Structure 1
Amino acid sequence: MTKTSSRFDYFKSRQIPELTVLQAALSDFSYDRHAHEEYAFGVTLAGRQDFFSGGQFHRSPPGNVIQFNPEQVYDGHPGDDSTLGYVMIYVPTSQLEASFADAAGCERAARFRASETLLADPELRQAILELAHLVTHQAGTRIDQEHALHRMATRLVQRAGQFQPDGRMSRPDALLLRAKEYILAHLEADLSLDEVSQAAHLSKYHFLRLFRQQFGITPHQYILSCRANAARSALEAGLAPSEAAFRYGFTDLSHFNRRFKRIYGKTPYQYQRSVTQ
């Protein structure tokens, strides 16, 4: 029996335009390691979902929830010979901050980050699937979708127990944060490793070692991931793929197509058509 090719269907919420839902069926595709600026909430529906994140490999059977914090690096691929089916929701931080703070009873919890990546939680799974259904079927009102988001945020905080605000940032974290901020502020420039390591006040050697140790990805991979994310937003706003490639430093449209597809499963043109119809 011939395996079906992989399929990626993206949906933008009409009520909350910042929300994106992905329905995927993977049989012959593997994601490159990358990171998004949003939270990502997924449910494995069929097959087994294998991925690397947080310094370890994970295996998600059907029914499990996968949760990635903003900037958390991960990859992914089918874990066995069966087709991997899953749904993923990408949520900007601004859509969850008030709910996190309310659930924790602490305004500082607005920047809550979950410590669990793979969860067996029926309540959280139900809220994710409910929101995905509302978006993919263009159903319900904005308050219905916001309610599902609030349930998701509340459940994550409940699982974490009493909110403990982060202590002082370690020196490596602070230095690497400077580097990340510099990268994001100069995505349209011809960045060099020297410039980025200088922004972090580190030698090139120490910067490379610390960055990979902290994020599980090289600075080069991170820059390409950030450029693809920025290009994605530009495509959603109607910018032509060729212009997005030029703006965000890809050598040509072919290079842009390859890199973008390794993260989103579609070429820039295919992605743009799917979310702007």
Structure 2
Amino acid sequence: MNKKSKMDLNSVVGISLAFVAIIGGQILEGGHAGSLIQTAAFLIVMGGTTGAVLLQSPVKIFLSGIKMSTWVFFPPDNSPQALIKQIISWSHIARKDGLLALESHVSVVKDPLAQKGLQLLADGSTAEKLREVLEIDISALEMHQRQSARIWEAAGGYAPTIGILGAVLGLIHVMENLTDPELLGSGIAVAFVATVYGVGLANLVCLPIANKLKSIINEQMVLQEILVDGFVAIANGENPRFIENRLKGYYI
């Protein structure tokens, strides 16, 4: 469940198309790409946005959100078919050799929830107790992942405002140097490019990442529910074929 799958080409194409369209449009309008490169504007927007997000988020959540951003291009292998196949395999083992035989499989699986579920089955936990324990873990995991994804949503909200702040700072610089025409160009450039950076960072990077992570988290929560339902069915001694048919109802 936690394996990384192959690269998500949809994300690669999407982000590439967005930047090519913007830079290409700039060139077609007679501008040049170099005019969009302003170190001062980049520092203001990136530093200000990062600082604002850090202010509202615990370091643990912030770092988790940064790490989760890799899911945009290398999402977890969320395959309900493979998971159901594994659950049915455990079901056959339990029916043939007893629930205690599942204990030898605890160290084989990598997913913490699957490990705990197998151990609870091997320990003879009732279906009700097993569901209660695992759903607590699912709720905690979901809350942590959604909080981590929200740092990108927060960054998408702060970046445009920080961009406007950068624009104001650039205009202040311009006003201070009205008597020196040589400094006017750089000040105006920082002013406008800071706004571009802020709006672009929000709408091309942060908000799309946040929405993509939410979608992946939803998929993972479905897998967790499949896993819990499968373990409960095994604990109740249900027929493997019946378990398989019911779990297939989670996906189309």
Give the TM-score taking structure 1 as reference length. Answer: 0.20
More strand per residue: 1 or 2? 1
More helix per residue: 1 or 2? 2
